Structure 1
Amino acid sequence: MGHTISRRNLLRSAGVVAAATTFGSVLTACSGTGAGTTGGDLTMAWWGSDERHTAYQKALKAFTAKNADIKIKPRYSGYDGYFDKFNTQVSGGSAPDLVQMDTALVAAYAKKGVLAPLDEYVGKSLDLTGFSKSLLAAGTVDGKLYGVPSGIGVNIVTINVTGLKELGLTEPDKEWTWEELKSYAAKIYKASGGKIFGVDDGGGSTNQAFDIFAREKGQNLYTADGKLGYTRETLEEWWTYWAEMRKINASAGGAVTSSAHNDLTKNAVVIGKAMITFDSGLNNSGGSITGATLDFVPTPQGGWSGAREGNYVNGGVLLSATKRSSRVADSVKIMSYFAQDEGAIKDMALLRGIPPTDKARALVAPEMTPNDKRASDAAAYVSDRVAKATDALPAPVAPPEGANQITELLFQSNLAIAFGKKSVKAALSEYFDQAESILSA
């Protein structure tokens, strides 16, 4: 079952980097008055696995049976090239009416005038009962709602329980710190006789690890005006931590990290090189590849004086309406259907993330695999902890244009440190120069 727990799984494909790189130039024509979709079938576009495609089709068939006046024409593809095609359609005036949107790109599209604000429909034809404010923030840009979240996305760490038991080790505590991760990971390496690292390298993991660390220091990845939101000192501390992790063999080295980049089948846990990974997408297909029992715990907490709650809730993928469409009202009806209809909720199950409401999670729970159930429980645990926290920052703003290039830059910079090609100090100087250049372009 291909579901998404965290936003990083939406960023794994190199296609999103290419889409972001060409975004501005391709959409220059968007400010014009070209025709949107008029009359005929309502077009709906999404990316995903064959399982997601089948589920969407089944749910939409049930929707049209209840809404005979709305005919839906699907546009389905994999993720690679999805946004390149969407950009071309937007420029040519043939964009879909309803589009599955990436949380990493919603701000850029909203600010370019591609997406329609949905606020006037909320509480009327758009029923968002059960959706938390922190979850809706994933589709909110400059105070307006541009996308309805499909699920709860949280940052959680994946653990190979089968492997730990073989080493005679118990699972780590849910309320662990970064220093406890270090000692625990080193213990795994020792227990394996030096054959298995404790954890994969999180030094270049922007959206699954570093963002939590920065938020624990009261800093976000980005500011509201699209600048870097963290200090040089914070990133230096982060990279130094991971350099120490590699030095004591608590973390995998550069070769393992490099080969796994954008290739889940080569993840350190999948290939037996580590017991812990920051990639919660392992439960998509990695669980079946490894044959292992998996469990999930929150990303480590700060552990220092004044550390804040760093976790937050994001929205899986989003459903958005395009602004030029003449069918925004009908698109909103479909969004509301996926949000609240019991049949649609069961059809989609975990294919767009952990369901976003208590009602939805209860509906899909009976069909979950054991690994999925543990992932859902972990997501609910983190979500509840965030809701109770009095020191947590507000949910992050939607990433600015260029954020995906920053994600790749952080990964490659950390890799250069891991391979000994750059010192932490040298990597810092180059990183901030390049990041600021990307964000000011």
Structure 2
Amino acid sequence: MGHQIPRRTLFRTASGLAVAGALGGTLAACAGGTGAGSRSDKLTMTWWGSDDRHAAYKKALAQFREKHPDIGIQETYQGYDGYFDKFNTNIAGGSAPDLLQMDTALVAQYARKGVLASLDSYVGKSLDLTGFSKTLLAAGTVDGKLYGVPSGIGVNQLTVNRSGLEKLGLKYPDPEWTWADLRKTAQDVYKKSGGKTYGVDDGGGSTLQCFEIFAREKGQQFFSGDGKKLGFTADTLQEWWEYWAQMRRTHACPPPAVTSAAHNDLTKNAVVIGKALFTFDSGVYGAGGSITDAQLDFLPTPQGDFSGAREGNFVNGGVLLSATRASKRVAESVQIMDFFAQDPTAIKDMRLLRGIPPTQKARSLISAGLNDTDKRNMATADYISRRVSKATDALPAPVPPPQGADQIWDLLFQSNLAVAFGKKSIKAQLGEFFDQAAGILAK
């Protein structure tokens, strides 16, 4: 399958997921059907993903139909590219699906437009969310109402070429490492490799896996609670860009040409092409497997090493299952949501294909069938989620991103690149970034 993934997809859940790669590459649309209006005798369900995810959904839904022969299901599925364009077209034409896989980065926009059905009246009745944490459910909650059931735990972490690190004789970092530790380790990689390999890809323009965590460590969210403005200060972004400018000067991260080439193309990621040993781009390893032959491992995003630093990581909901408000089959859609949330056969069929399973019950059910890399991935996610749940100073999980968030995420990436190429000074780019971001959010 292809591995070119839109940058916003990698940033989503929204977001900086440990399983961002599970969201699938650029695949051709599969199956037939046009939505709720085409087959009145069947519930219509749609999702995006890889071929492996398609097969798992189909297998699980076949099991559901055996248990509920009175509920027919018409399935449509495709890659991420064009998925929401098609959804919007279906909404406009009155043929929206009854049940759909929803992006945590977009749930707020669709909920506030009245497209999605509230699920609260079903919770504790036909929708069993036992084992789902409040923090996790926040990923599908908009303005106090639940509009989507999270499929898994998404956390922010680095993917590591562990075999490459061991060949250089370098110690594997402690999971409680800091930004200073990352800088030291990355510099050591460059020195030990004789200048052949950089430590980590340039994170100056990475949002969720990188900068958002740094801002949260300073007690600042990426977006304000109402989504109408940025939640972090210019001083915080300046400090961030200065950190990465030093990383480039000391060869701890690659030059901007490598960073630019990898934009929207995982096959050119610094770890994949052997130019670095650490990456913030978790799409390098996901439900479709690895796109590098290196032995991979995973580490939490570094912690703040300044006075008053808070826990910056957070847990989000992988992808969501949502029902459309106009559907006449919301109750039946909820039964399917409940099936994927709690049924052992569905949990085993989906494995890690929609993220690290959201409950301890689900994680225990699939653990025996995982390969070593999957086990390391899940163990790191477990470690981070436990740490976040114990933290007394952590900010609430971010609100669902507002309209225009994708433009701002890309603006951050391009702004860092402008500084890296020497086209703009950090201070000049700061002013431009905040001016443009304010204009985007004001629309």
Please list the CA deviations of residues 186-209 of structure 1 after superposition, one character each: whole Å capped at 9, or x if unmatched: 011000001100000000001111
Residues 1:408 and 2:410 aligned together: yes
Secondary structure of 1:290's match?
coil
Structure 1, 283-292 or 273-282: larger mean CA deviation: 283-292
| SS class of match (1:295) | strand
- Aligned residue for 2:203, secondary structure, equals coil
Instruction: Map residues 32-71 of structure 1 onto 2, 5 A cutoff.
Output: 39-71=40-72
Question: Which letter does structure 2 place at the counterpart of 1:214?
Answer: A
Query: By how many angstroms is 1:7 displaced?
Result: 2.2
Cα distance in 2 for partners of 1:405, 1:379 equals 28
Give the structure 2 partner of residue 195 of structure 1. 196
Deviation at 1:285, TM superposition (A): 7.4
Give, in whole Å, the separation in 2 of the partners of 1:72 and 1:421.
Answer: 54
Structure 1 residue 141: Cα displacement: 0.5
Aligned counterpart, 1:332? 334
Distance 2:433 2:119 in 1: 37
Give 1:161's aligned residue.
162
- Alignment partners' CA distance in 2, 1:357 and 1:213: 27
Output the CA distance in 2 between the equivalents of 1:311 and 1:380: 13
- After TM superposition, the score normalised by the length of structure 1 is 0.92
Q: 2:15 is matched with which residue: 7, 30, 35?
A: 7
Measured at CA, do residues 416 and 172 of structure 1 come closer, stay the same or move farther in structure 2, by a change above 3 Å? same
- d(CA) in 2 for partners of 1:228, 1:112: 22
CA distance in 2, matches of 1:161, 1:59: 34
Equivalent position of 1:88 in the other structure: 89
> SS of 1:208's equivalent?
helix
Of the three residues 232, 235, 247, the one matched with 1:233 is 235
Question: Relative to structure 1, is the Cα distance of residues 330 and 12 closer, same or farther in structure 2, using a 3 angstrom cutoff?
Answer: closer
Letter in 2 for 1:51: D
Q: Secondary structure at the match of 2:284?
A: helix
Aligned to 1:21: none
CA distance in 2, matches of 1:107, 1:119: 16
Give the direction of change, closer, same or farther, for the CA distance of 1:360–1:91 in structure 2 (3 Å limit).
same
> Using the alignment, how far apart are the partners of 1:101 and 1:287 within structure 2?
22
TM-superposed CA distance for 1:252, in Å, is: 1.1
**CA deviation after TM superposition for structure 1 residue 283, in Å:** 1.3
TM-score by length of 2: 0.92
CA deviations over 1:282-314 (Å, ceiling 9, x no partner): 112796432111111110000111000001000
Seen in structure 2, the aligned counterparts of structure 1 residues 360 and 285 have a Cα distance that, compared at 3 Å, is closer
Shift in Å, 1:353: 0.4
One-letter code aligned to 1:229: G
- C-alpha deviation, 1:184, in angstroms: 1.1
Change over 3 Å in CA distance of 1:229–1:37 after alignment to 2 = farther
Shift of 1:426: 1.0
Shift of the alpha carbon at 1:10?
A: 7.4
User: Which residue of structure 2 lines up, in the alignment, with residue 382 of structure 1?
Assistant: 384
Query: Is 2:288 the counterpart of 1:275?
Result: no
Residue 27 of structure 1 corresponds to: none
Residue 78 of structure 2: aligned partner: 77
**Cross-structure match for 1:421:** 423
Other-structure match for 1:133: 134
Relative distance call for 1:332 and 1:49 in structure 2 (3 A) is same
- Whether the 8 Å CA contact 1:216–1:301 is kept in 2: the answer is yes
Matched residue, 1:26: none
Letter of the structure 2 residue corresponding to residue 231 of structure 1: T
Contact 1:14 1:262 in 2 (8 A): no
Aligned length: 421
Conservation of the 8 A alpha-carbon contact between 1:107 and 1:399: yes
Q: Is contact 1:188–1:196 with CA below 8 Å preserved after alignment? A: yes
Distance 2:22 2:300 in 1: 20
Aligned counterpart, 2:98: 97
In structure 2, give the amino acid aligned to 1:54.
Answer: A
Partner of 1:24: none
CA contact (8 A) 2:177 2:303 kept: yes
8 Å CA contact 2:137–2:317 kept in 1: the answer is: yes
For 1:406 and 1:81, the matched residues in 2 are separated by 20
Runs (5+) with no aligned partner, structure 1: 16-34
SS of the equivalent of 2:46 reads strand
1:68-99 per-position Cα deviation (integer Å, ceiling 9, x unaligned): 11100001111110000000101111000001
> Does the 8 Å contact 1:37/1:95 carry over to 2?
no
Match of 1:430 in 2: 432
Taking the aligned partners of 2:286 and 2:311, their CA distance within structure 1 comes to 27
* Rounded Cα–Cα distance in structure 2 between residues aligned with 1:6 and 1:152: 11
Instruction: Quote the Cα distance in structure 1 between the aligned partners of 2:22 and 2:158.
Output: 17
Mapped pair 1:171 → 2:179: no
Question: Partner of 1:251 in structure 2?
Answer: 253
Give the match for residue 30 of structure 2: none
**SS of match in other structure, 1:337:** helix
Structure 1 CA distance for aligned equivalents of residues 338 and 389 of structure 2: 24
Q: Which runs of 5+ in 2 are unaligned?
A: 4-9, 27-35
Identity of aligned residues (%): 67
What's the counterpart of residue 361 of structure 2?
Answer: 359
Q: Which protein has the bigger helix share? A: 1
Q: How far apart, CA to CA, are the structure 2 residues paired with 1:321 and 1:337?
A: 14
| 3-state SS of paired residue (1:314) | coil
SS of structure 2 residue aligned to 1:62: helix
Aligned equivalents of 2:291 and 2:244: distance in 1?
A: 27
What residue is the counterpart of 1:372 in the other structure? 374
Cα pair distance change 1:243/1:13, threshold 3 Å: farther
RMSD: 2.0
d(CA) in 2 for partners of 1:214, 1:330: 41
| Contact kept? 1:268, 1:277, Cα under 8 Å | yes
Structure 2 SS opposite 1:275: strand
Asked whether the 8 Å contact 2:14–2:103 carries over to 1, the reply is no
Q: How many angstroms apart in 1 are the aligned matches of 2:289 and 2:190?
A: 22
